[in-house]
Chain A
Amino acid sequence: MNVSLQREKQDDAGEATAVADACFARFIDVQKSYDGVELVVKGFNLDVRRGEFVTLLGPSGSGKTTCLMMMAGFETPTHGQILLQGEPIDDLPPHKRGIGMVFQNYALFPHMSVAENLAFPLQVRHLPKEEIKRQVARALAMVRLDDFGDRRPAQLSGGQQQRVALARALVFEPELVLMDEPLGALDKNLREEMQYEIKRIHAELGVTMIYVTHDQTEALTMSDRIAVFNDGVVQQLASPETLYEAPENAFVANFIGENNRLHGEVIESIGDRCEVRLDSGETVAARPVAAGGIGARTTLSLRPERVGIVGEGDEAAFDNRFQAEVREVIYLGDHLRTRLEVCGNDEFIIKTPNAKGFPSLRPGQTVEVGWSSRDCRALDA
């Protein structure tokens, strides 16, 4: 009911639609404190486009779930405003927001069958009986559980319960669906399967989703955009590719993907190139991203797959070359993970494909490694 009302409003608006689409759901300077002493969320801003899949990613306690709960209406912002389709929803109780939600432990009603669980949101909207039956059947078909309507949630496996929770959050056709670590309780294989499932449903229905997780792989696989949370602040909001390729600070670089870190001081900075003197004495050429001026402390961030061994043929682009000693080689099938000591850092990781033409390394061996200054990002200390 609520949803259809919102839809009519949308149609009436006409030319405003484009604006509403760009800012389908908005957080404006949202702050949240539980105890009046500490801020859990410190000034959160986010615009979600219609049909977008946005992930709030961060370690536990970073405030991402709190943001989701404020959107759902279970927590009140201490400051700031939350808009849905341009309308402030601060005074709207949760049941009038028309937002679908998938909970961490699914929260399927244990005393109702699967079909009754799915019928619940339709019954409270006073839909006719036949319509409810039809919609429930359609939702079950969508998550491929057609024959499970009569079962109790306790009789389903974790993955099946997850699908039912998803179907229940979608069956009343909300335009926004919130998911709070929905795959956290599943094992690895099932989690990957469900990631694709959720992605498929998102593409099929065109529904807007805000997804909370602490699993970076999950975030990278599924999202259109990711907001990386730490300490109540969004560290970077960007597409998965940008986050991985061009992290804006040391936390993001570290949190997303694997990352080699070298610490030092900026000694020269011209345009998009700077020279950094490491604590161990060597000088490295890098691309300044979030480093300060000359004399500022900086952390160099370097993806393991962007480091090469000199002698493999692509060293032409390497304007940084250093001697390294092999400490450990881990065999991972399609590639090898090698731990080296480079410039005083003995946690330096490189990845080499397990293919013809690549030299096999042994612990204790000394090699020359190199990388391009464009791949080496100078970030905040």
Chain B
Amino acid sequence: MSESSAIPLTTADGIPLKTSLRRAVRRSRIRAFLLVSPLLLFLVVAFVMPIADMLWRSVDNPEVSTQLSRTAAALEGWDGESLPGEEVFAALAEDLRVGQEARNLGLLSSRLNYEKSGMRSTINRTARGLRTLDPPYKEALIAANTTWGERDTWQILQRETSPWTLSYYLAAVDRQLSPAGDIVKVPAHLEIHVSLFWRTLWMSLVITALTLLLGYPIAFLLASLPLRYSNLLLILVLLPFWTSLLVRTTTWIAILQSQGILNDLMVALGVIADDARWQMIHNKTGTIVAMTHILLPFMILPLYSVMKTISPSYMRAARSLGGRPFLCFRRVYFPLTLPGIAAGGILVFILSIGYYITPALVGGQSGRFITNTIAYHMQTSLNWGLAAAIASILLFVVVVCYLVFNRLIGVDKVKLG
């Protein structure tokens, strides 16, 4: 042992063994890399870069520092106590004049409006009226719009000269910075995101629990039936994958709506009165029912693959040792299926907290997920920074779930199919 560590091993012709080995496997390494490179490239372009872009956007804050660059420079020496001096007002007037000429004040006014409502119209009106203003600008601007005479306005402007901001993340959790720089809650009527996050989490948990409850017996049946029956059953389990997600979701609308199949049937059977039809769609019930159905295969498959490997002799041994059937299940079979439960659970949970289309179609107002809010900020309000911040928080939640799962169960123990 000591000899081999002292003298490096060589091959017969004197080349060090390590060099020789590296040379020998280089060709197969290169080939392996070439084989995975298309996918790698695709993942970088379509997955890694968008995520990086999203994370960057959630803290990016270029508007004030670029479009009000003179004002930003002038504000540097301001003490933040009294109103700033004439040179700051003059710089602002110049910035706004330049911006108005280039017609690109829109983003700036929107951005400042997130921080202080009313800023959009303040900036737009001031910019339009600049031509009629004469120095000294301090008095002229305050006379034109009293907002410029408020200390808060200048504190916010000074704060937002920083190229980075946390205000999107604060907004994503219903908080904001006060002009003095303290983190405070937004007014109660604007609180929306935190409750949506919680709703998304608990509804995902309910959906996960339901898929487990419904999937466990099916997976058990699949694993214990003879092969030719279990194959047929497996095809039935996979059948939904062959149907469009949209079709599956809208089918639930046809079944569950108030003039739908289920309500009609219940009325016909006399279970409910015609004027007291159940409201089962466009609310939480709709989202939970439809998503449980859609995500069920993702629970069944990991469970099945784990159960398939559990030899029936374990249960027989437990029975022969004197355990009642339920006790044998609880002490022997159930613990052995835990990796499958964990794998299916984490899969369904992570899929469902990021689900968008089904809650959007059947969730109505009360069954919406946080993803629907992200889409709203992306497409309607165009507040991409906030959308990116919410999405980043969602990504963080998923990563935490994964890490906890890996710690408790171990990802390497999971087998899918």
Binding site for B on A (CB under 8 A): 2, 72-74, 93-101, 103-105, 107-111, 120-121, 124-125, 168-169, 172, 178
| Chain B residues closer than 8 Å to A2, beta-carbon distance | 322
B311: contacting residue among A74, A97, A107, A120, CB under 8 A: A107
Can you list 18 A-B pairs with a CB-CB distance of less than 8 A? A73-B319, A73-B320, A93-B319, A95-B328, A96-B322, A103-B317, A104-B313, A108-B317, A109-B314, A109-B317, A109-B336, A110-B336, A120-B318, A120-B323, A121-B321, A121-B322, A168-B321, A169-B320
Q: Are A72 and B321 in contact, CB atoms less than 8 angstroms apart?
A: no
| Chain A residues closer than 8 Å to B331, beta-carbon distance | 120
| Chain A residues closer than 8 Å to B335, beta-carbon distance | 111
Q: How distant is A120 from chain B, measured CB to nearest CB, in Å?
A: 6
Q: Are B313 and A105 in contact, CB atoms less than 8 angstroms apart?
A: yes
| Chain B residues closer than 8 Å to A105, beta-carbon distance | 311, 313
Q: How distant is A70 from chain B, measured CB to nearest CB, in Å?
A: 13
Q: Are B316 and A107 in contact, CB atoms less than 8 angstroms apart?
A: yes
The verdict on B116 contacting chain A, using a C-beta distance below 8 Å, is no
The verdict on B106 contacting chain A, using a C-beta distance below 8 Å, is no
Q: How distant is A237 from chain B, measured CB to nearest CB, in Å?
A: 25
The verdict on B332 contacting chain A, using a C-beta distance below 8 Å, is yes
Q: Are A74 and B318 in contact, CB atoms less than 8 angstroms apart?
A: no
Nearest B residue to A74 by beta-carbon distance? B316
Q: Are B324 and A124 in contact, CB atoms less than 8 angstroms apart?
A: yes
A107: contacting residue among B314, B323, B325, B327, CB under 8 A: B314
Nearest A residue to B316 by beta-carbon distance? A74
Q: How distant is A256 from chain B, measured CB to nearest CB, in Å?
A: 29
Q: Are B323 and A95 in contact, CB atoms less than 8 angstroms apart?
A: yes
Q: Are A103 and B336 in contact, CB atoms less than 8 angstroms apart?
A: no
| Chain B residues closer than 8 Å to A172, beta-carbon distance | 321-322
Q: How distant is A242 from chain B, measured CB to nearest CB, in Å?
A: 32
A111: contacting residue among B321, B322, B328, B336, CB under 8 A: B336
Decide: A124 near B323, CB < 8 A? Known: A105-B311, A107-B311, A111-B336.
yes
Add 17 more A-B contacts to A73-B320, A100-B321, A110-B336 (CB < 8 A): A72-B320, A73-B319, A95-B323, A95-B328, A97-B320, A101-B317, A101-B321, A107-B311, A107-B313, A109-B317, A109-B332, A120-B323, A124-B321, A124-B324, A125-B322, A168-B317, A169-B320
Docked Cα-Cα span, A178 to B313, in Å, equals 14
Residues of chain B from 322 to 369 with CB closer than 8 A to chain A in the complex: 322-325, 327-328, 331-332, 335-336
Q: Describe A's contact surface by its main secondary structure.
A: loop
Q: How distant is A357 from chain B, measured CB to nearest CB, in Å?
A: 54
Docked Cα-Cα span, A107 to B328, in Å, equals 13
Q: Are A107 and B319 in contact, CB atoms less than 8 angstroms apart?
A: no
Docked Cα-Cα span, A73 to B324, in Å, equals 13
| Chain A residues closer than 8 Å to B323, beta-carbon distance | 95, 120-121, 124
Nearest B residue to A109 by beta-carbon distance? B332
Q: Are B327 and A124 in contact, CB atoms less than 8 angstroms apart?
A: yes
Most chain B C-beta atoms within 10 Å of own C-beta, residue among A2, A95, A100: A95
Q: How distant is A118 from chain B, measured CB to nearest CB, in Å?
A: 10
How many A-B residue pairs lie within 8 Å, measured between CB atoms? 70
| Chain A residues closer than 8 Å to B311, beta-carbon distance | 105, 107
Residues of chain B from 295 to 327 with CB closer than 8 A to chain A in the complex: 311, 313-314, 316-325, 327
Nearest A residue to B334 by beta-carbon distance? A111
| Chain B residues closer than 8 Å to A103, beta-carbon distance | 313, 316-317
Docked Cα-Cα span, A303 to B275, in Å, equals 93
Docked Cα-Cα span, A70 to B321, in Å, equals 16
Q: How distant is B230 from chain A, measured CB to nearest CB, in Å?
A: 18
Q: Are A94 and B319 in contact, CB atoms less than 8 angstroms apart?
A: yes
| Chain B residues closer than 8 Å to A125, beta-carbon distance | 322
Nearest A residue to B320 by beta-carbon distance? A101
Docked Cα-Cα span, A121 to B322, in Å, equals 6
| Chain A residues closer than 8 Å to B332, beta-carbon distance | 109
| Chain A residues closer than 8 Å to B316, beta-carbon distance | 72, 74, 94, 101, 103, 107
Most chain A C-beta atoms within 10 Å of own C-beta, residue among B317, B318, B327: B317
Nearest A residue to B323 by beta-carbon distance? A124
| Chain A residues closer than 8 Å to B314, beta-carbon distance | 107, 109
Q: Are B336 and A98 in contact, CB atoms less than 8 angstroms apart?
A: no
Docked Cα-Cα span, A99 to B328, in Å, equals 16
| Chain A residues closer than 8 Å to B320, beta-carbon distance | 72-73, 94-95, 97, 99-101, 169, 178
Q: How distant is B412 from chain A, measured CB to nearest CB, in Å?
A: 15
Nearest A residue to B310 by beta-carbon distance? A110
Q: How distant is B136 from chain A, measured CB to nearest CB, in Å?
A: 82
Q: How distant is A326 from chain B, measured CB to nearest CB, in Å?
A: 50
Docked Cα-Cα span, A101 to B324, in Å, equals 16
Nearest B residue to A180 by beta-carbon distance? B313
Q: How distant is B324 from chain A, measured CB to nearest CB, in Å?
A: 6
| Chain B residues closer than 8 Å to A110, beta-carbon distance | 336
Docked Cα-Cα span, A111 to B324, in Å, equals 19
B318: contacting residue among A97, A104, A109, CB under 8 A: A109
B325: contacting residue among A74, A95, A99, A101, CB under 8 A: A95
| Chain A residues closer than 8 Å to B336, beta-carbon distance | 109-111
Nearest B residue to A178 by beta-carbon distance? B320
Docked Cα-Cα span, A72 to B324, in Å, equals 15
| Chain B residues closer than 8 Å to A101, beta-carbon distance | 316-317, 320-321
Docked Cα-Cα span, A100 to B324, in Å, equals 15
| Chain B residues closer than 8 Å to A121, beta-carbon distance | 321-323
| Chain B residues closer than 8 Å to A97, beta-carbon distance | 320
| Chain A residues closer than 8 Å to B317, beta-carbon distance | 101, 103, 107-109, 168
Those 4 A-B pairs whose CB atoms lie nearest each other, nearest first: A121-B321, A107-B317, A107-B313, A101-B320
Nearest A residue to B331 by beta-carbon distance? A120
Nearest B residue to A2 by beta-carbon distance? B322
Docked Cα-Cα span, A121 to B323, in Å, equals 7
| Chain B residues closer than 8 Å to A94, beta-carbon distance | 316, 319-320
B322: contacting residue among A74, A95, A104, A109, CB under 8 A: A95
Most chain A C-beta atoms within 10 Å of own C-beta, residue among B321, B322, B328, B331: B321
Q: How distant is A117 from chain B, measured CB to nearest CB, in Å?
A: 9
| Chain B residues closer than 8 Å to A104, beta-carbon distance | 313
Docked Cα-Cα span, A291 to B327, in Å, equals 56
Docked Cα-Cα span, A298 to B335, in Å, equals 59
Most chain B C-beta atoms within 10 Å of own C-beta, residue among A73, A124, A169: A124
Docked Cα-Cα span, A70 to B318, in Å, equals 16
Nearest B residue to A123 by beta-carbon distance? B331
| Chain A residues closer than 8 Å to B318, beta-carbon distance | 109, 120
Nearest B residue to A110 by beta-carbon distance? B336
| Chain B residues closer than 8 Å to A124, beta-carbon distance | 321-324, 327
Q: How distant is A259 from chain B, measured CB to nearest CB, in Å?
A: 35
